[in-house]
Amino acid sequence: QLKMLKKNAEEGLKENPPYIKNVSAMLRSAFAIAVEKAFPKTGVAKLVQVGPSSHPRFGDYQCNAAMAINKALQNSSLNPRSIADRIVANFPIDPFGLVDKFEVAGPGFINIYMGKEFVVEEIRSYMINGVKPRPVKPLRVMVDFSSPNVAKEMHVGHLRSTIIGEVISRLIEYQGHHLLRINHIGDWGTQFGMLIAYLKEKYTDGFPDRMEVHELQESYKESKKRFDSDEDFKKRAYQAVVKLQNKEKEHYDAWKWICNTSRLEFEKIYKRLGVTILERGESFYQDYMVKIVKFLESGNFLEEDEGRKVMFPKAKGLIPLTIVKSDGGFTYDTSDMAAIKQRVEDENLDWIVYVTDGGQATHFQVIFDCAERAGILDRTKVRVQHVCFGVVLGEDKKKFKTRSGDTVRLRELLDEGVKRARDKLLEKGRDKEMTEEELLQAQESLAYGCIKYSDLAHNRNHEYLFSFDKMLDDKGNTAVYLLYAYTRIKSIARKADVSEEQLRDYAKSSAFEISHEKELKLSKTLLKFPEVLDRILEDLYIHPLCELMYDICTSFTEFYDSCYCIEVDKPTGLKTVNMNRLVLCEATAVLLKQCFDLLGIRPVSKM
Ligand code: ARG
């Protein structure tokens, strides 16, 4: 961004490019230039950091590099304050009027006050161009998420992976990258031989047309019992595995039937949550697994260990991967090694993201390490990231289970959410102002919105307490609060009888200005979006986006409480509309809508 800024400055351009600008990053680059000019060839420019101020009396942003630079330079004729002065004096040309003024404070803090013109131009751009991200070189990215297991109930862990993975996918697509969303379902392995052998015994006249996933899971448990206690059954199960691996019709069809039964259930959940994902499960890698074993063997990477073939990572103290089991079968490790090779070499990916619970952190650490060791992965070229998350707890602070200790069925959980959301709307008497159609829409938006948001608003690494009561609370940082705020903002323009078109035209005109302190505060909060976005794309922690949405809504409330947008003259009933403020309402709505879209939450106009 700075290069462009410099180029524009050199050419005397003051054109505002049609995308959103990361104020923190622009300031950081400008300060790095200033420091390089003030202290050439000392290498201290890399010490520059700029962040939002902790309090408005310290400006909008702060650069606290002077202290660190002073330490690094060890020049007795300087002190942090004089260093700060020199940095400020060398600040490059600022064609956008990004900075209104600097203030050197305390031991050498540089407080930065943003220029109002810059803020006006940005809001104008939000209105004219929408919230368009800065163009980047498109990368080839894969997000491996959701990934439930066939013949098992999809559990709350998979729900978290689905919710978080979907948002990460949306963010990456929004940034303009090429994205593959992959559902790495557990659909392969010796357990399927077991299950097929069992089902063939149970349904001698062919499998039923329909079966619920929980019934399949029961069969799965039964088959495991048989496998462990009955030698004959065990033999048959092994034979079934071999037949399946050779794709012999009867067994292959049985396996397809099992996968299909599960898939129908998964798809229902995805549809309800608005998730799109391409199924490419472990079975996809069967041939690749055969190949990876040969590849690792020929590279001498495998060691014998009690009949197993294992691979040790370079890092000490980590457990090795089991590449081949003592019975010759493959494992979860084998499939992930095969998958990473296929992804790096065939898919040509620049960036791979895996979304699973924190329990698998070591697994991925070892996979990445072994892939590097085997020369499959070069982490300076391909970015691999394991995005993990904490366990889901119930209201009793214990692992989320039903009263009887079973896994909670996702479908039932979603149903309950919808019911609770409906109750909430009825409790507020909203049914009196809505058609049944609108009510149905609102209850789903609310239910899924709440379930997603309460997950996303927390630091994903932490344990997460699942509570419908908390998520349906309309106070605090909840989806309910935000969705209501959004509908309220939208209704302001409606009440004023001003169309979006008119607002946009007004924003384009020179009449548009920002004057009231609360207008400015709201605007500056909106302008934080690009820096929050850029940061998320680095570390893939999503909660800062939720915090920003909450800040936007609270700033909006402050603004709305002290700034009239529409004034009605009581005796005549005449309306005076403040267009500047309506533009701000609309800009807020536009940005909030973008945030909701990124989070996969569907706001409705009536709620
Ligand atoms: N099926 C796995 C589970 O339920 C998650 C798979 C994640 N992806 C991967 N490439 N290992 O835990």
| Residue nearest (by alpha carbon) to ligand 1 atom 11 | 336
Of the chain, the percentage scoring pLDDT greater than 90 comes to 88
Q: CA 287, 293, 295: angle at the middle one, nearest 5?
A: 100
- The ipTM estimated for the assembled molecules is 0.99
The pTM for the full model equals: 0.94
Q: 185 C-alpha vs ligand 1 centroid, how far in Å?
A: 7
Q: CA 130, 135, 138: angle at the middle one, nearest 5?
A: 130
What is the DSSP secondary-structure string of 145-198?
A: ----BTTS---HHHHHHHHHHHHHHHHHHHTT-EEEEEE--B--SHHHHHHHHH
Q: 329 C-alpha vs ligand 1 centroid, how far in Å?
A: 18
Q: 20 C-alpha vs ligand 1 centroid, how far in Å?
A: 36
Q: 184 C-alpha vs ligand 1 centroid, how far in Å?
A: 6
Q: What pLDDT is recorded for position 12? A: 43
Residue 185 CA: which ligand 1 atom is closest?
1
| Residue nearest (by alpha carbon) to ligand 1 atom 8 | 184
Q: What pLDDT is recorded for position 8? A: 52
Could you write out the three-class secondary structure of 116-149? HHHHHHHHHHHHHHCCCCCCCCCCEEEEECCCCE
296 exposed, middle or buried (CB, 10 Å; 0-12, 13-18, 19+)? buried
Q: 155 C-alpha vs ligand 1 centroid, how far in Å?
A: 13
Q: What pLDDT is recorded for position 5? A: 54
* pLDDT tens figures, 208-220: 988 999 999 999 9
* pLDDT tens figures, 441-489: 999 999 999 999 999 999 999 999 999 999 999 899 999 999 999 999 9
Q: What pLDDT is recorded for position 76? A: 85
Q: What pLDDT is recorded for position 422? A: 96
- φ/ψ (deg, to 5) at 180: -115, 120
* pLDDT tens figures, 310-351: 999 999 999 999 999 998 999 999 999 999 999 999 999 999
Handedness of CA 570, 576, 582, 584 (dihedral sign): negative
Ligand 1: residue of 360, 362, 388 to mutate (most ligand atoms within 8 A of CB) is 360
Q: What pLDDT is recorded for position 605? A: 73
Question: Tokens for 83?
Answer: 């260093």
Alpha helices of 187-300 — where are they, by DSSP H?
Answer: 190-202, 213-229, 231-245, 249-273, 286-298
Q: CA 402, 404, 407: angle at the middle one, nearest 5?
A: 40
Q: Are strands 50-52 and 61-63 parallel, antiparallel or unpaired?
A: antiparallel
Q: The tokens 């297991």 sit on which residue? A: 149
The arithmetic mean of pLDDT across residues 374-399, rounded, is 96
557-578 burial, b for 16+ CB within 10 Å, e for fewer? eebbeebebbeeeeeeeeeebb
* pLDDT tens figures, 76-118: 899 999 999 999 999 988 888 899 999 999 999 999 999 999 9
| Residue nearest (by alpha carbon) to ligand 1 atom 9 | 184
Q: 341 C-alpha vs ligand 1 centroid, how far in Å?
A: 16
Q: What pLDDT is recorded for position 93? A: 84
Mean of all residue pLDDT scores within the chain: 94
Contacts 24+ apart (CB under 8 A), 217-224: 217/151, 217/152, 217/153, 219/151, 219/195, 220/151, 220/152, 220/191, 220/194, 220/195, 222/198, 223/191, 223/194, 223/195, 223/197, 223/198, 223/199, 224/191, 224/194
Whether 563 and 493 have beta carbons less than 8 Å apart is answered as no
* pLDDT tens figures, 130-155: 999 998 999 999 999 999 999 999 99
Question: Tokens for 417?
Answer: 């959410």
Question: Tokens for 3?
Answer: 């290069």
Q: 8 C-alpha vs ligand 1 centroid, how far in Å?
A: 48
| Residue nearest (by alpha carbon) to ligand 1 atom 6 | 147
Q: 356 C-alpha vs ligand 1 centroid, how far in Å?
A: 7
Q: 310 C-alpha vs ligand 1 centroid, how far in Å?
A: 20
Q: What pLDDT is recorded for position 13? A: 43
Q: What pLDDT is recorded for position 3? A: 60
Ligand 1: residue of 147, 181, 182, 362 to mutate (most ligand atoms within 8 A of CB) is 147
| Residue nearest (by alpha carbon) to ligand 1 atom 5 | 147
Could you write out the three-class secondary structure of 345-365? HHCCCCEEEEEEEHHHHHHHH
Ligand 1: residue of 164, 356, 377 to mutate (most ligand atoms within 8 A of CB) is 356
Q: 145 C-alpha vs ligand 1 centroid, how far in Å?
A: 8
Residue 14: pLDDT over 90: no
Residue 158 CA: which ligand 1 atom is closest?
4
Q: 72 C-alpha vs ligand 1 centroid, how far in Å?
A: 47
> For the chain, what is the largest distance between any 2 Cα atoms, rounded to a whole number of angstroms?
93
Q: What pLDDT is recorded for position 17? A: 81
The Cα–Cα gap between 71 and 297 comes to 53
Q: What pLDDT is recorded for position 2? A: 56
Whether 310 and 302 have beta carbons less than 8 Å apart is answered as yes
The Cα–Cα gap between 140 and 183 comes to 17
* pLDDT tens figures, 430-444: 899 999 999 999 999
- φ/ψ (deg, to 5) at 91: -60, 130
The arithmetic mean of pLDDT across residues 358-385, rounded, is 98
Start-to-end Cα distance in the chain: 40
Q: What pLDDT is recorded for position 404? A: 82
Q: The tokens 């990368």 sit on which residue? A: 139
* pLDDT tens figures, 186-210: 999 989 999 999 999 999 999 998 8
What is the DSSP secondary-structure string of 578-602?
A: -HHHHHHHHHHHHHHHHHHHHHT--
Residue 354 CA: which ligand 1 atom is closest?
8
* pLDDT tens figures, 491-508: 998 899 999 999 999 999
* pLDDT tens figures, 550-602: 999 999 999 999 999 999 888 998 889 999 999 999 999 999 999 999 999 99
Residue 339 CA: which ligand 1 atom is closest?
10
Ligand 1: residue of 184, 336, 354, 386 to mutate (most ligand atoms within 8 A of CB) is 184
* pLDDT tens figures, 395-425: 999 999 888 888 889 999 999 999 999 999 9
Q: 234 C-alpha vs ligand 1 centroid, how far in Å?
A: 26
Protein residues whose CB sits closer than 6 Å to any atom of ligand 1: 144, 147-149, 184, 186, 336, 339, 354, 356
